Structure 1
Amino acid sequence: MTARLREALRSGAEEAPVYPVYERALATARRTRRRNWSAVVAALVLIVLTVTVVPSGRAPSVDPAAAGTAALPDRIDLPPIGALHVTDRPRIGPAAVLFSGERGRLNGPDATEYVGAVGADSDRYRILRPGPGAPAGDKVLLSPDGRYVAWSDDDGVEIIDLVTGRTRGLPGGGPVAWSPDGSRLVVRDTVDLDPQGETYRVVLSIVTLDGGHRTELPDVPRQAIVGHPAAFSPDGQRLAYQVGREVTVVGLDGKRLASYFLPPESWLAGKGAWTADGRWLTVATRRADSTDWSLRLLDPATGREARPLDLPAVSDVTTIRLLGWGPDGSALVVAFTPNPLSEDRFDQPLEIDQRTSYGSVRGVRVLALTPGAAEPRTVLTAPDQILAIDVADGVIESGRVREASPPGGVGGRFWWWTGLIILVWGGIAAYRGRVGLALWFDDRRVRRARAAEGEG
């Protein structure tokens, strides 16, 4: 090669544009790293929104008309681990059953007590947290159509709509009874009469659900025990409630219509105490020196015993609570099985709240007392951890019982939180290894580019 040729080549090389290989590779790596990190952040934001917004959204996803196919499940079980809350999606819709207890999966962290709800037409299980010491059917009440649940909180009575997930508040210390059409609620307040709270009186009131009208019922004696629950007549125009041994019947205007005393070991039978035709009141009575309970009818105007009821007695229970009447004339009752470890003797006189307290009860069943039958018929069973239960009036009146298949395994919240934890840890790992990840992506890009050039 001549000197002149070498000079020409050098001159041409100097004039040729230089490609900034290192700078371009570095810029590409930075862009790739930014894209990957943005994708991780977007994924984390998406999962957080899924967990926090979707479970507590407000739009309804269940048609209230589904309650038309409501039926009583023949068995219930504990809610699954990580069960959805009643405010989560998909909504549970109207419920057939509420249940509660103080053991097993009905206990949450920090001594939280859950109340379980079972869907009206299928085995959808949800939970709610009304606070400690709130048994279903006593301090947590299901509305007649199964759509609403009422319980007491620090600010008054809380009512949740199981179809929409929305809540509302009413003034009052705690719910006592729903009216048949669900438009009114009887609430109970305790008023201290001295600064130490040693003397008090109980005030019962009928409150409309919109809070616009409140009717205080006749005075309750000081420090009296108010039998629970009270019972509305089927037409919703009369209310019967028990204070001590006295039963009082009032109208919606709060005017006293009748009052009389029951003999010992007789109690207003429950929220279904009025017969289906509204003619009679029902009381539950314990046979002397036994744990056998039976139902009998009273004239609501005089308290005199009416015609006898041809219904079987219930044996070996702490007490029974009348839920309502089926279309065949059967009385559906909750039977409370005695806890063998309880210090109380249930063949002796006890207050009704002692007979239904968690410490006294081993388990519950729902029984049908059919006219002319020799023995009660079990229509719903529950595991021993379930100690209290409530059933929607509409389900009882329909007379339908369905074969249940309670869900097992784990619930929706378990999977949401598991997915969130996996993505968070994945995001942390991706961030810590972001440099290596960017170089790995760049290496793959270079290999693909070289492979493309080789094929060309």
Structure 2
Amino acid sequence: MTTELGRIMQDVADNAGMRVPSGLYARARRARRRRLTALAAATTLLIAGTLALPVWRPSPPAPAEPGIDQLPTVLVSPPAGTAALGDAPLPRALALYVTADQFLPGENSPLTVVGSDDRYRSYDRPEWTFASATTNTILLSPDGRYLLMARWGSGDDTRSRLLDITTGDVRTLDTGAPLTWSPDGALAALVHYDGDGTGDDPVGGQVTVVSMPAGRELWQVPLTPLPGVFRELRAALSPDGSMLAVQQRGEVTAYHRGGTVAWRAQVAGQLAGRAAWTPDGRRLLLSDAQGRLLPLDAASGAAMATMRGVEGFQRVGREMTPLVDVVGWRGETALAIVGNQRLYELSDPPRVLMTAPDTVYELDVATARVGAQPRVPGVADPGPPPPFRLPGWAVALAAVAVIALLSRRRFRHVVRDWLRGV
């Protein structure tokens, strides 16, 4: 029975009249090659897109609404795993500091940025340098949105890096390196040296007042050529931006807007920070080595009665910066960073508003829209974990491996059988 059935089925097959079309196998091979070519093209496009598109970042937070933030009474060392500012920007910085254990001249020096709600971020600046030996390497705008840092190449190549805290983006201002902000943050003073300002040959230059954050040049004043002109240079803009005081060693020159000289005076102290002019513009403050504030008459440069400072305080960090660095005002009361580590309200008696870790080498704070009463901070928030980033070379290698495997028949059969559940 079985033999007979097999013979009948064979006869049916022989008489069915079916023919294999000519070139069927050749067409199948061509189709296979086309599929592999299409797969390779798609993979190449995927790799190119991965390499060409910018790295994913979370959307930056909305700018801070007009309002008041409270400074923390204490800053702490950044927690382990603190997010980079570029990965998790902040609406503004309330404080920013660099610590001595991070401070290696000639090397990168990471910064710690502290925002509202105890949010901590890190920023790895590309270089360590400053505009002059008597200025800090970090200059935070009064509103806490921007950070100026010097970018100094060889010779007279002095520029500024402007970091936007709200995005983590950096752009370059070519006019010069940063000396100071105006008290309202609308202006900045940048210095350019006509040669190597650190050398022993007399070198001059210019201090240029620019609008911020655009960096548009408004007016400039000349520097007196001196050996090592870089070593003792400071500047301060008046509250209304109409005057600029420039100190070269023991001489302060006050300029009217446009560059005309208002007066010159020999002094015994240093210009006391970005808010060295009193809010009414009538006095210009100097800081001496004992922590006192020495006012000059802004109309004539004449010395006036000594003001309250913070005496007996030890300097930490940058030795050539003022012991008392005035950064803002509350009415007639100055706010000052003292010794590079503490923020004081210079009331009677002086009151500590903020304390930084003992290892802090440079400190700067926001002063605009900041409440009078600091708050006790909570636990430091390190921010979100860094986004996963697969390097482009890893994607390319994986794509090459997949293409190579798919070109092998045995591997394709294994995949097919696996998909079929065999």
Q: TM-score, normalized by length of structure 2?
A: 0.73
Q: Is the alpha carbon distance of 1:394 and 1:66 closer, same or farther for their aligned partners in structure 2, counting shifts above 3 Å?
A: same
Q: Deviations over 1:301-356 (max 9, x none)?
A: 344443443454242225524233443755333333xxxxxxxxxxxxxxxxxxxx
Equivalent in the alignment of 2:354: 379
**Superposed displacement of residue 61, structure 1:** 3.0
- Answering whether residue 406 of structure 2 is matched by residue 416 of structure 1, we say no
**Superposed displacement of residue 123, structure 1:** 1.2
- Answering whether residue 394 of structure 2 is matched by residue 392 of structure 1, we say no
Native 8 Å contact 2:202 2:225 kept in 1: no
**Superposed displacement of residue 64, structure 1:** 2.6
Q: Deviations over 1:353-385 (max 9, x none)?
A: xxxxxxxxxxx4123144222x6525131351x
Paired AA for residue 416 in structure 2: D
Q: State the Cα RMSD in Å.
A: 4.6
Equivalent in the alignment of 1:441: 415
**Superposed displacement of residue 244, structure 1:** 0.8
**Superposed displacement of residue 394, structure 1:** 1.2
Q: Is the alpha carbon distance of 1:262 and 1:9 closer, same or farther for their aligned partners in structure 2, counting shifts above 3 Å?
A: closer
Equivalent in the alignment of 1:114: 110
Paired AA for residue 233 in structure 1: S
Equivalent in the alignment of 2:75: 75
Equivalent in the alignment of 1:352: none
Q: TM-score, normalized by length of structure 1?
A: 0.68
Native 8 Å contact 1:218 1:256 kept in 2: no
> What secondary structure does 2:9 align onto?
helix
Q: Deviations over 1:212-269 (max 9, x none)?
A: 5442225424234564542222222222221111122222222222221113xx2221
State the distance in 2 between where 1:254 and 1:204 align: 10
Paired AA for residue 266 in structure 2: F
Q: Deviations over 1:382-441 (max 9, x none)?
A: 351x3112223315x6435342543449852xx534788987787677667666764443
- Answering whether residue 239 of structure 2 is matched by residue 234 of structure 1, we say yes
**Superposed displacement of residue 83, structure 1:** 4.0
State the distance in 1 between where 2:231 and 2:299 align: 20
The one of 251, 256, 261 aligned to 1:251: 256
State the distance in 1 between where 2:66 and 2:118 align: 10
Native 8 Å contact 1:97 1:120 kept in 2: no
Equivalent in the alignment of 2:182: 179
Equivalent in the alignment of 2:298: 300
> What secondary structure does 2:388 align onto?
helix
The one of 335, 338, 341 aligned to 2:338: 335
> What secondary structure does 1:133 align onto?
coil
Native 8 Å contact 1:123 1:405 kept in 2: no
Equivalent in the alignment of 1:279: 282
Higher helix proportion, which one?
1
The one of 368, 377, 381 aligned to 2:344: 368
Equivalent in the alignment of 1:320: 323
Equivalent in the alignment of 2:95: 97
Q: Is the alpha carbon distance of 1:10 and 1:78 closer, same or farther for their aligned partners in structure 2, counting shifts above 3 Å?
A: same
Native 8 Å contact 2:205 2:222 kept in 1: no
State the distance in 2 between where 1:49 and 1:95 align: 32
Paired AA for residue 420 in structure 2: V
Residues 254-265 of structure 1 correspond to what in structure 2 (within 5 A)? 254-263=259-268
Native 8 Å contact 1:29 1:442 kept in 2: no
State the distance in 1 between where 2:331 and 2:196 align: 49
Equivalent in the alignment of 1:53: 55
Paired AA for residue 191 in structure 2: R
State the distance in 2 between where 1:301 and 1:3 align: 125
> What secondary structure does 1:75 align onto?
coil
State the distance in 2 between where 1:193 and 1:8 align: 105
Native 8 Å contact 1:123 1:404 kept in 2: no
**Superposed displacement of residue 2, structure 1:** 11
Native 8 Å contact 1:369 1:376 kept in 2: yes
Report how many aligned residue pairs link the two structures.
Answer: 398
Equivalent in the alignment of 2:146: 148
Q: Deviations over 1:186-227 (max 9, x none)?
A: 111111399x98331232222334555442225424234564
Paired AA for residue 323 in structure 1: V
Equivalent in the alignment of 1:359: none
State the distance in 2 between where 1:408 and 1:370 align: 32
> What secondary structure does 2:245 align onto?
strand
Identity %: 22
Paired AA for residue 347 in structure 2: P
Equivalent in the alignment of 1:270: 273
Paired AA for residue 416 in structure 1: F
Native 8 Å contact 2:239 2:277 kept in 1: yes
Native 8 Å contact 2:107 2:127 kept in 1: no
State the distance in 2 between where 1:6 and 1:64 align: 84
Equivalent in the alignment of 1:339: none
Q: Is the alpha carbon distance of 1:191 and 1:39 closer, same or farther for their aligned partners in structure 2, counting shifts above 3 Å?
A: closer
Paired AA for residue 91 in structure 1: P
State the distance in 2 between where 1:294 and 1:148 align: 30
Q: Is the alpha carbon distance of 1:128 and 1:330 closer, same or farther for their aligned partners in structure 2, counting shifts above 3 Å?
A: farther
Structure 1 residue ranges without an equivalent (≥5): 288-292, 337-363, 449-456
Structure 2 residue ranges without an equivalent (≥5): none
Q: Which moved more, 1:327-336 or 1:272-281?
A: 327-336
Q: Which moved more, 1:233-242 or 1:161-170?
A: 161-170
